[in-house]
Structure 1
């Protein structure tokens, strides 16, 4: 987990179970039976995701109730299982268990809110546009230019995420936002972003 997030006063960290699963996947040899420790860790993660998938259409309140009654005991079982294993520190399996236990509190955060998600894969995929186009963003020759690029990309990804036509959405914003009273005040004080 990126340490910068821990410096934010009001941020509530939510651990990504896809990262836990990936570590156990990498620790499980290709030709192994289901009784290996890596396969067992992987199976715990798969059960968590399977339950969440079953609850996808539930209301926030119903999902929270299911999480507290079914997911919480499964997580307890998983973390207790991790604590009770004798594995070689520094091995792939040892790293998977150490990672799981080190961030246990953040992995349990989903139990407190039905709107949170087990995996941040969707957010990571949205960021891929920025990462893949990194060399294209070199025109941002200043901090303000980079900040403007980030804002525009965030708006575009938000439009895509909500099934909007990104071009129409940006056109609407560019036509209507300049007339917003709150932004007119920022413009007069020099606070509006510019490209460059």
Structure 2
């Protein structure tokens, strides 16, 4: 079932995902943070990268570049963004296809774009200043290449972890406004509430109605089965909406 889980930990240690993903099997999609290496290695997880993160680095490089005068060439960062944009255009075109057909279309349409982009990155990695944002963006993308292209191997996978990014955004905005989120206990409390709200939304249930339902019935839950009955996909709210 669709689940959005927020988990707070005061550390960014590799021990955190190792503990959190204990027993999990499947695919882990992340940015390039090395803290995920160990859990993928020890749990045998397939790891793929996120093109949103790679593209963002080129966008930052483009914004930092001097203002272009009319008639001047576009920056290398802008060229890279244009090439990456082609990958997203392909995804938009095939988004409603079944996974098997998506895989085939990615091999046929996206792979040539990826090959062209990689050749361009390798060629231009020596043509920009080593301390520039563009150089850093190029190196990040090349270093993550095998992970970034992993989505092409399975139509069930996504080109980016934009779903997680979208779920994180309200949390990141809210923590600047709410005083209870500035302590470890407050962070854990808000993570719990956000998990319930976003999971309700992911299952097509209005969050306020769901929280109201949970608070009305959680006090009578005596066994694990009683708690599981309050999960979004098991509630009467879900059945009413489907009806």
Interval containing the TM-score (normalised by the shorter chain): 0.7 to 0.9
The SS at the match of 2:81 is: helix
Tell me the equivalent position of 2:94: 55
| Aligned residue among 168, 180, 192 for 1:138 | 180
| Aligned residue among 20, 36, 40 for 1:5 | 36
| Aligned residue among 96, 109, 122 for 1:83 | 122
| Aligned residue among 129, 146, 156 for 1:115 | 156
Q: If the length of structure 1 is used for normalisation, what is the TM-score?
A: 0.77
Tell me the equivalent position of 1:27: 61
Tell me the equivalent position of 1:169: 210
Tell me the equivalent position of 2:136: 95
Cα drift, residue 65 of structure 1: 1.4
Tell me the equivalent position of 2:233: none
CA, structure 1 residues 172+39, in 2 after alignment: closer, same or farther (shift >3 Å)? Answer: same
Cα drift, residue 139 of structure 1: 6.3
Q: If the length of structure 2 is used for normalisation, what is the TM-score?
A: 0.64
Cα drift, residue 14 of structure 1: 2.5
Residue segments in structure 1 that go unaligned for 5+ positions in a row: 186-196
Tell me the equivalent position of 1:37: 76
| Cα offsets for 1:81-122 (capped at 9, x unmatched) | 211222221212211111110111110121122122222233
Residue segments in structure 2 that go unaligned for 5+ positions in a row: 1-31, 228-243
Tell me the equivalent position of 1:193: none
Tell me the equivalent position of 1:151: 192
Asked if 1:182 corresponds to 2:213, the answer is no
CA, structure 1 residues 140+89, in 2 after alignment: closer, same or farther (shift >3 Å)? Answer: closer
Cα drift, residue 156 of structure 1: 0.9
Tell me the equivalent position of 1:18: 52
| Aligned residue among 144, 147, 158 for 1:106 | 147
